[in-house]
């Protein structure tokens, strides 16, 4: 997984973080790569679906609903996006 996320550019990671923070209505400095969306930022399942849909729209990806279980923090979103882009 770490090699997959290493494939994302810093610019792409920043873009993903900005999208996630916008959806969660948080400031950039409130979210770390490992902070948990649900437990630490009170995100409900609809927010996670919004994040998945936003990644699909923004980056032209097709992501499986099953990936939602991995998208619990930024690191998970980075991994899902990197894997989808690698296909």
pTM of the predicted structure, to 2 decimals: 0.90
List, for residues 25-65, the tens digit of each pLDDT value.
999 999 999 999 999 999 999 999 999 999 999 999 999 99
Provide Rg for the chain, Cα atoms: 12
**CB contact at 8 A, 78 and 3:** no
Euclidean distance between the first and final Cα of the chain, in Å? Answer: 14
List, for residues 64-83, the tens digit of each pLDDT value.
999 999 999 999 999 999 99
**CB contact at 8 A, 77 and 59:** no
Of 51, 63, 74, 69, which is closest to residue 5 (Cα–Cα)?
74
């Amino acid at each position: 997984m770490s090699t997959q996320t290493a494939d994302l550019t810093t610019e792409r990671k920043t873009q993903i973080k900005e999208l996630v923070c916008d959806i969660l209505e948080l400031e950039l400095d409130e979210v770390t790569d490992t902070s948990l969306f649900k437990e630490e930022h009170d995100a409900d399942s609809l927010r996670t679906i919004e994040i998945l849909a936003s990644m699909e729209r923004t980056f032209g990806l097709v992501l499986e609903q099953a990936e939602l279980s991995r998208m619990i923090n930024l690191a998970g979103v980075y991994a899902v996006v990197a894997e989808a882009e690698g296909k």
